[in-house]
Amino acid sequence: MTIDAQQEKEFYDHAYATHLAAEEGALACNREILERQFDTPTDPMYERRKLYKGVLDALLKNLPHCRNVLDYGCGTGEWGVMMACEGASVSLLDLSPVGVEIGLRRAKASGVADRVRGFAQDAGDLNCFADGEFDLIYASAALHHTMKYSNALSELLRVLKPAGLLVLAEGYGNNLLLNKARRIRAAISHEPVEAGEGIIFSTRDVEILRSHMAHVEITPLNLFAMAKRLFRGRFDSRGVQATMFFLETIDTVILRAAPFLKRYCGELIVVATK
């Protein structure tokens, strides 16, 4: 099923609206808060902690040299506000005006409202930004949503300055068995099509990036450990934690011994230089 930008906007407006009632203090975000979330089994971010810890390392390594930053597909703005807390001037971009509103409230709660702007805009037309405006663009599970819209990639590249950095956190879609399992889990969970499980970043998309960027470095993560999807909402169980430790250890051993299997992992970090 194909969805359009309006359907996607309405879906995420509704999904993000649950944050509107949050007290200001609960919206605050910075590096330390994110790190605690990654390590808290009951937090939704825990499921992708390896992915997010890798992304955080990549961002913190480059932020001192990248002061003008775009949080592309910002959701409710956690990552953008974190980067503002590290000293960057940040623009939050999302199709959902509700998400952007929450991101701006989050910036105020975190004491960085003066360094954060918000834009509710279709990724296919970023006329709100100048050519080469950003030193760094970060997208968390967003580019696979926007690449289906015409001009989205060309607009993203237009607003990234020469030698600028693009950092992505994405699902990785080369593994046909894993893709099938994703669809089955989504169907069993009655997950709406707008959640994007049917559109997954793949090697084809990496090659498209390589054709436009001077350098693209990829870090695939989680092969057998993608079984974590089966345990969603139960990571506080000691049995689940032991199972995940075992699967992650198996991944480390197998991927070190057979690096060619990395293309079948389920998650991906991309760091690309224009």
Q: How far is CA 28 from CA 47, 79, 195, in A?
A: 21, 11, 25
Residue 135 has what pLDDT? 98
Q: How many CB atoms lie within 10 A of CB 258?
A: 10
For residue 139, give the H/E element and its range: strand 134-140
- Rg for the chain (alpha carbons), in Å? 18
CA distance 274 to 79: 22
Ramachandran assignment for 163, one of left (phi > 0), alpha (psi -120 to 50 degrees), beta (any other): left
| Tens-digit pLDDT string for the chain (274 aa) | 556 778 888 888 888 999 998 998 899 999 999 999 999 999 999 999 999 999 999 999 999 999 999 999 999 999 999 999 999 999 999 999 999 999 999 999 999 999 999 999 989 899 999 999 999 999 998 988 787 778 999 999 999 999 999 999 999 988 888 878 777 766 666 665 545 555 678 899 999 999 999 999 999 999 999 999 999 999 999 999 999 999 999 999 999 999 999 999 999 999 999 9
What's the CATH number where 93 sits?
3.40.50.150
- Structural domain of 89: 5-273
Structural domains counted in the chain: 1
- Describe the crossing of helices 5-16 and 97-109 by its angle, rounded to 10 degrees: 40
Instruction: Please report, as a single letter, which amino acid is at residue 131.
Output: D
